[in-house]
Every structure is written in structure tokens, then in C-alpha cells.
Amino acid sequence: MGLIEQKQHFSVNLLDWYMINRRDLPWRRHNNPYFTWVSEIMLQQTRVDTVIPYFNRFIGNFPTVQALAEAPEEDVLKNWEGLGYYSRARNLQAAARQVMELHGGEIPQDKQAVFALKGVGPYTAGAILSIAFNQPQPAVDGNVMRVLSRYFLIDEDIMKGSTRVLMEELAGELIPEGRARDFNQALMELGALVCTPKAPHCLTCPVMEQCSGRIAGRELTLPVKTKAKPPRPEQRLVAIVEGRGVHRGRVLVRQRPESGLLARMWELPHVLAEPPAKAGKKAAPLADEPAMALLAGSLWAEGFAARPEGLATHAEHVFSHIVWQLQVYKCTEQSQSSELPLIAAEARAAYDAQAATKDTVATDPDGQSASTFTSTSSITSDQVERRMLTDDVEVLDNAPQIHIGKGDQLTYRWIGPEDMDKMAFPNIFLKLLSSYFAGVYDDINE
């Protein structure tokens, strides 16, 4: 069989299989371009089963482009909470505003106009145009490149831009006339359900007979893919600061900077414990005593009196280029000025012990220096002690609920469990706070 016949075999048999075996997914029940767009953004780096409840909730709260464009950003992030890659949500809302301003609220059908929307790359543009408008545009993602690499025995590295161009041209040639919507979804479906990365189900594959990779015994070695650089680990110390006085029943949280990693989301205060380890190597945990002193010092530097009581838990949060390995300590808010010299001395000792490593500055995956939100790493021990001993400390009974950090200039708030529904947190901090309010860490300082 020649190449033309092999292509025809692929397209015909794939479509026949899809029309019988396609999954019933909520975004497929309506030919709504907005639903298609939202689903494709959510499905980036995320499994279908995970996306379904998020999609239903998101569409329930933001049923139209206009509703999304006009919503407060914090509401959008809250509805995205737990999906990760939060820049997707911000870009989606920014693009919705573009659609309102430039296209009268209607998602454009022109390729260049779709591609110009914030957060829309070649794959997403192809998916929107083909699925929503049945235009013969290829939609090539990792699943599709895996299927095509195996079926046509393509030995090119799929991480290269030239290979993507080749795949897009090939995928475009395979689309049957008038069937772009079904074909592109069928191709995605085959990669997700049958032609899987590690254990392809060749015996149930509708195009098995003419699969060149299977015939050559290469189905397990294709596609060719350069290994990504392993994420860089960072050891971080996290404070769950339990309030006293007017803050009783509340916990201290802070809002991240306006730009960069997890921009404007809320989190528990944390500080870099050690210089970042090399990519692929585990960051070494810090012993509890210096860790707690360092954490107390970093909180004092921002204007908060808190004493760490003990280790609550270890946790991990994985980004694409970085891994936070977290030592989480339960802390208690303090108010008596007589305690300042003691905690200041502890913090000074911790900083002195770390003096040789303080000049190292970490960079987060979005290119932002970690010092933008761990500013105490660049403060000397003398400065920390001087701030502790001379800065005014609010009396607990008159303490404010909102505070601006003296060093990092970030917004800090005291929150209770009732506030969790209104503020957007990265998943790891959501879990830690939920555990705290559920009483998981109650016995640490008893």
C-alpha cells in the first residue's frame, strides 16, 4: 500500500471508529465556540476527567464571553483553583475582553484573529477553528504527534519546531472534506484512549493494520522526544501563623506579587531555606531549630510577631520548572515586647548560620526573582534584629486585619475558614489551610 492509500485508510477508519466510540463530554454536547475555547484551554496539561467538573462549574458561573470578560479576576481564579497553570485563567479572561472589544463578543472565525487572542497558540487556534467552525485547520498537540509519529514511522524529534511544522502539514492533509470537526476530535481521542504513551492498545486500534510503527516494532520507542530539563528543587519554610486576640480563629496569609509565578494569588507566608539545588537533585531539609528561627526572623522582618511551635507537615508543590519542597511549621502570633529580644537572638543565630548562602538569588519559572517574595534572604541579621527591637508592634486587641509587609511590600491578611470561598489559593496552600481549619495540626503546641 502506498502513502496515499495509507493516509486514506487512516482517515476513513479513524472517523468510523470515532463515531461509535467517542466520549460524551460536556463541551461536545453543544456546538458553542465559547465552550470549545474554554475546554481547550482547560485541557492543556490536564486530564479530561479532572477538567469535567471544573468546566461545568466555570461555565455555570461564566456562561458567556461577556460574563467572563466582566467578572472580577479573583472570581475567575477562584473558579480555576486546583487546576494549576493559573496564567491560563488570566489569559483566558484577557482574551475574552479582547473578543468583547474587537469582535463584538463573537469569537472570530478568522485564523489570524483567533491566533491574536491572548493565550491562544497554534494548537488552540486550530482546535477552535476546526471544532467550533468546522474549518479544515490542523490541531496538533502531544497526543496527535504521538499518533502520527507511530502510524507514519516519523523519526524526527517532536520537541523541534521543524517537526511540529511537518506534523501540522501532515495532519492538514489527512482531514476529509467537510469533516474537520469530527476528524480532529477523533485524532485527539485516539491518542488519549488507544495510542497512549507507555502502553498503546494496538490490538483495539482502528488503524492498526497500516501502522508503520507497529509493523516495524517501534510503537514503544516512538515518538522521538528530547527529555525535558528536570525541575529545580527549592526548600522552603512555610508558616501557619495562628492568631490571638482579635485574630483568634484566623490565620495569616499573603497575596503574591502582581506579576510572575502565581501572580496575585493568596498563600501562606514562606521563605527560601537554602540556595536552590541543582536541577534533578533533592533540596536538603533544614533542621527544625534553625528553620523555626529563620522563619520567625522572616516574619519579624515583615512586621509580624510569631513564634514557631513545631513542624506541622512536609509537603511538595510541583511547577513545570521548579519544585517547592515545603517544611510547614505551626506558629503562634505574639504581642509582648519582652519576647522580642529572645526571638531576635534566635533569628540572628539562624541568619548567621546561613550567612554564606544569602547572596544566592533564585529565579522562578516565569522569570521572576524569588527575592521579590522572599526578601528576607537579602536582609542582614543586624537589620533583622534592629527591626525586631525598634519597629512598632500592634497590640493584639487593636491589630489590623490587613497589613503591608515591611520588607516585601506584599498584602497580608488574617482570614478565617469563611474567607476560603472568596480567595484564590494554589492547591498546596488550599490543602494546608483546609487541614489547619479541620484541626489536623491542633496537637502540635499542646
Q: Cell numbers at residue 394, please?
A: 500592634
| Domain match, 107 and 195 both | yes
Domain that holds residue 437: 232-445
Q: Which of 187, 215, 243 is the last residue of a domain?
A: 215
Residue 331 three-state SS: strand
What is the reported pLDDT for 363? 35
What is the reported pLDDT for 445? 63
* Host H or E run for residue 414: strand 411-415
CA atoms within 13 A on the CB side of 360: 13
Write out the DSSP string of 366-395: TS-BGGGT-GGGGS-HHHHHHHHHHS----
| Domain match, 130 and 263 both | no
Residue from 436, 438, 379, 440 nearest 241 by CA: 436
Residue 348 lies in a domain: yes
What is the reported pLDDT for 402? 84
Residue 197 three-state SS: coil
CATH number of the domain that residue 135 is part of: 1.10.340.30
289-299 per-residue burial string, b: 16 or more CB within 10 A, e: under 16: ebbbbbbbbbb
Residue 295 lies in a domain: yes
Q: Are 389 and 297 in contact (CB under 8 A)?
A: no
Per-residue pLDDT in tens (0 to 9) along the chain, 446 residues: 689 999 999 999 999 999 999 999 999 998 999 999 999 999 998 999 999 999 999 999 999 999 999 999 999 999 999 998 899 999 999 999 999 999 999 999 999 999 999 999 999 999 999 999 999 999 999 999 999 999 999 999 999 999 999 999 999 999 999 999 999 999 999 999 999 999 999 999 999 999 999 999 999 999 999 988 888 899 999 999 999 988 999 999 999 998 888 989 999 999 998 765 555 566 678 899 999 999 999 999 999 999 999 999 999 998 888 999 999 999 999 974 545 445 555 555 554 554 444 443 333 333 333 333 333 333 344 443 444 333 334 444 555 678 888 888 999 999 999 999 889 999 999 999 999 999 999 887 65
| Domain match, 319 and 397 both | yes
| Domain match, 196 and 240 both | no
| Domain match, 39 and 130 both | yes
Q: Cell numbers at residue 337, please?
A: 515586647
| Domain match, 24 and 61 both | yes
Residue 167 lies in a domain: yes
Residue 220 lies in a domain: no
Q: Which of 182, 215, 248 is the last residue of a domain?
A: 215
Residue 221 lies in a domain: no
| Domain match, 269 and 407 both | yes
Per the structure, the count of domains in the chain is: 2
In whole angstroms, what is the distance from residue 130 CA to residue 124 CA?
10
| Domain match, 288 and 396 both | yes
Phi, psi (rounded to 5 degrees) for 229: -65, 130
Spot the catalytic one: 5, 40, 106, 339: 40
What is the reported pLDDT for 337? 57
For residue 264, give the DSSP letter.
T
CATH number of the domain that residue 429 is part of: 3.90.79.10
| Domain match, 354 and 408 both | yes
Residue 40 designated active-site: yes
Q: Cell numbers at residue 278, please?
A: 541543582
